[in-house]
A and B are shown apart, each in its own frame.
Chain A
Amino acid sequence: MDKPFFEYLLRLGDSSLILSQRLGEWTGHGPILEEDLALTNTALDLLGQARMWLTLAGEVEGAGRDEDALAYLRDTHEFRNVLLVERDNGNYADTMARQFLFDVWHYFLLQRLEKSADERVAAIAAKAIKEVTYHVRRSSDMVVRLGDGTAESHAKMQAAIDDAWRFTGELFADDAIDLDLASRGIGCELSALRQPWLAHVREVLEEATLTVPDEAAANHLAHRGGRQGRHTEQLGYVLAEMQYLPRAYPGATW
């Protein structure tokens, strides 16, 4: 088995899966019917992507685990999502800040993976980037609307960005697996995504009349580790809810 490749695919799949699960929590609770639908659409897009990544991960692993086994029968320390996506939904600004910072990163990542030397990775990325292009457009737009809205929405949006910002350092922190996959042309170096990410984020935040937080605020080691399986306490609750049924009735089909 190509262990680093397997790990890399889990990172991609888990980040989409957990964010999708978080967005699903909004169903029926969005601020307005149309937003409710838009969030659910985004959740469904991400779930579809997670399924493709995890199915491929299962194939690469070659141990007979399918997407369901990987999604429902792994525990917290076996998940490889970035910490940003497992954070609580909070208020609408918190959800939009998390979505915006992730979407921009996701977009630039998929743009590179579209050119992956592995054609399966390239194919999934090509499919996903169409959806993510829309996600970026929508979340960027919402950040501008809330930041440049009322005094209260501005304050909430700024607080949400400041709060989520701590978890953005991890998005660009390469480890041995990233470097290995990048050297084989399958993946890419995350550190190379930082400049384009920052340029887009800065442009949107400025248009939203928001302040871009300090770079140093994103670099604390306590706020990274998700991609290596070290999570915040919040992931356990997400998984307990998500995995309850398959754990209670192992082997059931549905």
Chain B
Amino acid sequence: MSKDWPLWEVFIRSQHGLAHKHVGSLHAPDAEMAINHARDVYTRRNEGLSIWVVRASDISASSPGDKDPLFEPSNSKVYRHPTFFPMPEEIKHM
């Protein structure tokens, strides 16, 4: 099963969603069937959405051990954060 039906990760953008979100995974022999199954399992066929499937083996993940060097946000070095510019009034959401 793991050979013929590899694991796929499923990303879905809902009708009013801005970005694809990871919703889960499933087993399927190829991409087409993975999309069919993703539709049945994760979307209940809401119209106007988009599905991405990608083989789990094609995803590279960061290692939990790298947490500090990768994600420590250097909060003590204020000059690294671009917070010193006044935003123009017209720009509402940024």
A interface residue numbers (CB < 8 A to B): 32-34, 37-38, 41, 134, 137-138, 141, 145
Contact A141-B33, Cβ < 8 Å, known A34-B26, A34-B27? yes
A-chain residues with CB within 8 Å of residue B39 when the two chains form the complex:
134
Contact with A along B27-55 (1 / 0, CB 8 A): 11100110011011100010000000000
A interface, over-half SS: helix
Residue in A32, A33, A138 whose CB lies within 8 Å of B36: A138
Q: 8 closest Cβ contacts across the A-B interface?
A: A34-B37, A38-B40, A37-B40, A41-B40, A37-B41, A34-B26, A138-B36, A34-B41
Contact A32-B5, Cβ < 8 Å, known A37-B40, A37-B41, A41-B40? yes
Sampled A-B contacts (27; CB under 8 Å): A32-B5, A32-B27, A33-B26, A33-B27, A34-B26, A34-B27, A34-B28, A34-B33, A34-B37, A34-B40, A34-B41, A37-B37, A37-B40, A37-B41, A38-B36, A38-B37, A38-B40, A41-B40, A134-B39, A134-B45, A137-B36, A138-B36, A141-B32, A141-B33, A141-B36, A145-B29, A145-B33
- Compute the total of residue contacts between A and B using a CB distance below 8 Å: 27
Query: From residue B7, how far is it (CB to closest CB) to chain A in Å?
Result: 12
B interface residue numbers (CB < 8 A to A): 5, 26-29, 32-33, 36-37, 39-41, 45
Query: From residue A208, how far is it (CB to closest CB) to chain B in Å?
Result: 15
Bound state CA distance, A32 and B27, in angstroms? 9
Bound state CA distance, A32 and B26, in angstroms? 11
- Contacts beyond the supplied A34-B26, A34-B40: 5 A-B pairs with Cβ under 8 Å: A32-B27, A37-B40, A138-B36, A145-B29, A145-B33
